[in-house]
Amino acid sequence: MEFAQLDEVFEGFPTACGAGEEQIMLPSSDGVRLRTEIFRPDGIPTPWPVVVTRTCYPFSWPQTAALGREYAKRGFAFVCQFCRGTGGSEGTWEPNVNERRDGLALTEWLDRQPWAGSIGYKGHSYPALCGWTIADAVPDKVKTMFLTGYGVMRHASAWQDGLFRQDVLTAWAMDNAGRPVTADYLTSAAYRPQVEVDTALWGVKLPWYRDWITHPALEDPYWTAGFWGELAGIPAKVKIPIYLGEGWYDHHLGSALLTWQALSEETKRRSVLEIGPVDHNGTPVLFGHPGAVNAGYNMERRAIEWFAETLARDSRPRPGARLYAIGADEWRFYPSYPIETDGTRILYLFGSRLADTPGENGFREYVYDPENPVPTLGAESALRSIQKVQGCRLQPEPDYRPDVLSFTSDVMPESVNIAGKISLELYVRSDAPDTCFAVKLSEVMPDGKAYHIRNAVTTLKRNGGAGAKTVNGARRINLRAWDILWRTTPGSRLRLDITSSDFPEYSVHPNTSELWFRVRESRRALQTVLLGRAYPSRVILPLEN
């Protein structure tokens, strides 16, 4: 970011003659001292508006320090505290569990400082988690929070219908194990049994990682009680305005949208949801749309604009949802979210086509081998592989592997506006006691190149298990993708790919009824997708005029 470009945001504001810097070791409520860096605007009378953040990432300190100096030059105090056990703070590093205690100790200390005026919290990813942990209990001077790239519904960021998000949380665990981990990432993600990968390959036992991978069910008390249950209950109790920033291809999007919905209506009326065409790093990932000139999304600029309004000017930004429409290359404003759609379009699977009506009964089948999973290409839930797979990636040719079934629609002469959750109903059979089905919807441009829109996965177990109802021996399964706002190009087509793996975005299903994280061996499975009037496998598109 060019900091000089921010001068227009602060036009008319006093300009500091410099930035004073101080490091203190601030005690938390249990006496553990945490490294706290303070940047003060020199030459401007107190009290100052204050922007505060907490982080567990020492590697980001040079950028954070530069940002703190820029805030200070523009009349703000900026405070950054390192989580316990990281970056020079005392104590033992354990993700998540100490952040409420330590964050409240920091904001309560700031609330008592005579130089501190209105306070705003800022955080992206884990620093956003640190903000959410205290959002319902902050002292009076804390007026707002700017939180991006995170949602408090942790299960949604960890699991999808029994499949673990390997590329996000296994990768994060390796990078934040409290000691260097040199093991190969893909080898780690494929290791069996996964519950032993930490001691077998990483050289350290991580109880918190084992907790994540051994609790696949949302209704498990691990997610509904304790830290994660308490965190999920915080949005409903928040009273201050929230800026909730996300990307259509950020791995926290699903959790963040549930978080937005959990806010009270009163708080939503003072808050903003903004979703750009970006990944977790804020990078646009529109590979099939090279002419997108309005796709830029500068999180730091938006943060400073937000704090300029809410802290320095004491005014309220326009509440609602500001969303980027992929394909239209435009930002659209909605007074509320989710979007109220105008209807649906249904496309039925027939032969190798997607058609407006179901055809004659038929089937297609393939063999799924867990030892040779389909590699991820085009994803919304990636972190370690983000630069290779995330976003609207170019897809291979239809049926590019024997274990990938492709279905393509007729040419659509006019644009279609997809707004919301794409869902699918598939009629399937498998000779495995439990297995996975994975789908990917792409847009085939007029030049024949296909680009990823959305994907989804599910398991038989998450669709009723052994007691599920069948139709002539076929199981009907339901898949739902994360929300999207997408306008197709006139003359394009839609393509659906069906397979049984998407690795390393998701864990590889071993085709057994045993819990995935305990399995040592896998087996092959014969997978059948049934089609036609008796088995109306279909794609359901939510449409906006």
**Strand-pair category, 272-279 with 242-249:** parallel
pLDDT number for residue 291: 85
Q: Residue 498 to residues 176, 184, 269, 401, 408: CA-CA distances in angstroms? A: 34, 29, 41, 11, 12
pLDDT number for residue 464: 75
pLDDT digits (tens, 9 = 90+) for 60-90: 999 999 999 999 988 999 999 999 999 999 9
pLDDT number for residue 447: 97
pLDDT digits (tens, 9 = 90+) for 516-536: 999 999 999 999 999 999 999
pLDDT digits (tens, 9 = 90+) for 350-362: 999 999 999 999 9
Question: Does a cis peptide bond (omega within 30 degrees of 0) precede residue 47?
Answer: yes
Q: Which of 383, 382, 355 is nearest to 537 (CA)?
A: 355
pLDDT number for residue 342: 86
| Segment (H or E) for 260 | helix 253-262
Who contacts 463 (Cβ-Cβ below 8 Å, separation ≥6)? 161, 475, 476, 477, 478
pLDDT number for residue 470: 78
pLDDT number for residue 466: 62
What is the total residue count of the chain?
545
pLDDT number for residue 1: 43
d(CA 387, CA 504): 13
d(CA 233, CA 250): 22
Mean pLDDT, 10 residues at a time, the chain of 545 residues: 56 66 97 97 93 96 94 94 98 95 98 98 98 98 98 96 96 94 97 98 97 96 96 98 97 98 97 97 93 89 92 88 98 95 94 95 97 97 96 98 98 97 97 97 98 97 76 90 98 98 98 95 98 96 92
Q: What domains does the chain contain, in order, with CATH numbers?
A: 3-148+233-284+290-325 (3.40.50.1820), 161-213 (no CATH), 343-543 (2.60.120.260)
Q: Which of 5, 91, 82, 86 is nearest to 38 (CA)?
A: 82
